[in-house]
Amino acid sequence: MFDVGKLRAGRAVMTSLAIVGVLATGACVSTDQPPPSAALAVSAETKAEPPSSAYLRMLRSQGIGTSIPARGKFVLVNIPSYELIALQDGVPVLRSRVVVGQPRTTTPEMLSSMSALQFNPSWTPTPSMIRNEGLRPIPPGPQNPLGRVLFDLENDEFIYLHDTNDRALFNRPQRALSHGCIRVEKARALAAWALGVSEQEIDAMIARGTTYSVPLPEAIPVSLAYYTQFPDEAGQFVSYPDIYGTGQAKERPAAEPVRVAEKPAAL
């Protein structure tokens, strides 16, 4: 038979130890729960979109840049102004002149993503370029029209960004000269920013001479857009020629103040 006295004494000891344990840990661990309203406030704060930069607010006030995120890397190419802008957290960190497609081989508007860089690319013309222009494949090297760096874009139209061997094209005021792809004047600087390395490291990658690809740490969204009213480096909206004849210049009223760009010289 059980000794009832011993059983009761054991229970008393266990109760005393439990009380001592609670008192001992009470100074380290809070058992208070935050009120429901405070918990909801914290949850809403963590889910809220980060504030936009002044540059993004300026663009969006004119109906531009709605796809640009407030955080992370983003590349915007504005076709009529022949310009590429790399943004970090909604702030321009790199601006470069570009060459875009001719009116008969236009650069399409699209939202894509850059996933990898290809160093020392070879160039193979399309069948129509071979048939109509007599062009031939060109191996990697200083005479390659793709230059030394190609920026892969995910799309079905074979449109991408790339370097070029013809640097003089960037000095022309009218730069709608390509078959649709975008030639970037500051290709090395863009490659360094995309990979998160220095331009010297990009030069070393090019110096290997072989054709190879390097994936980006994470894909970078790229927007190819068409705005005839677009801000310059000073933040003033400039009116650019409607190079593809879209009629956008008439449909979109100019923002104030607007400075009119000089008419491009004929080729």
Q: Are 246 and 176 in contact (CB under 8 A)?
A: no
Based on DSSP, count helices (H) and strands (E) in the chain, helices before strands: 7, 12
> What pLDDT score was predicted for residue 56?
94
How does pLDDT run across 166-183, given as a tens digit for each residue? 999 999 999 999 999 999
The domain spans of the chain are 54-260
- Find the helix or strand (DSSP H, E) in which 184 lies: strand 182-184
CATH number attached to the domain at 54-260:
2.40.440.10
Q: Are 147 and 216 in contact (CB under 8 A)?
A: no
pLDDT, average across residues 53-71:
91
- Range from 1-5, 136-140, 243-247 carrying the lowest mean pLDDT: 1-5
Is residue 203 predicted with pLDDT exceeding 80? yes
- Range from 1-5, 96-100, 103-107 carrying the lowest mean pLDDT: 1-5
Nearest CA among 126, 121, 105, 198 for reference residue 161 = 121
pTM of the model: 0.77
Chain mean pLDDT for the chain: 82
Q: How confident is the model at residue 112 (pLDDT cuts 50, 70, 90)?
A: very high
